[in-house]
Amino acid sequence: MEAALRFEHIETPVEVSLSIVSLEAIHEMNRDYRQVDRETDVLSFPLLSFPETPRLETPAAQDLEDAAEEEANLDPDTGEVVLGDVVLCLDKAKSQAQEYGHSLKREMAFLTVHSMLHLLGYDHMAPEEEKVMFDKQKAILDEMGIGRD
């Protein structure tokens, strides 16, 4: 999470909730929140709306500075901007790591970075969005020294 924030030059204090859940729990959440009746590896629940969606030009850091000006975006106890929630399924990550032939550390890092980028307003629904987001994912993982094993 911190690597993604550093990569995006975010200095605004932020809060992210991370949960690690079972296959059954993530299946239920995927069905209830996305209407997709199957297990998944990770879910992201952004709490901020960004002016530019999809994010192709405007830096996330600027949007977060703007979000910090609105009291509704802040945790009243900490004053941090609440980005949202990341829900990871450890069992799914383990099976994918094995399937892709790399370490669990790499898979968990990938899923976390992917989710953080979603919380920062990135998406991959259109080809141009996908290129921006996936290039950032790779660059962040490379900076962390976590490539494919």
pTM of the predicted model over 0.75:
yes
Those residues of the chain that have pLDDT short of 70 are 52-54, 56-58, 148-149
Q: Which residue has the tokens 């494919």?
A: 148
The pLDDT value recorded for residue 60 is 84
The pLDDT value recorded for residue 74 is 93
The residue range of the domain holding 79 is 2-144
> Any idea what the CATH number is for the domain that residue 35 is in?
3.40.390.30
149 assigned to some structural domain: no
Q: How many domains does the chain have?
A: 1
41 assigned to some structural domain: yes
Q: Which residue has the tokens 């729990």?
A: 25
The string of pLDDT tens digits covering residues 43-77 is 999 998 877 666 766 678 888 888 888 999 999 99
| Strand-strand pairing, 81-89 and 14-21 | parallel
- Helix 23-34 and helix 90-100, axial crossing angle in degrees, nearest 10: 100
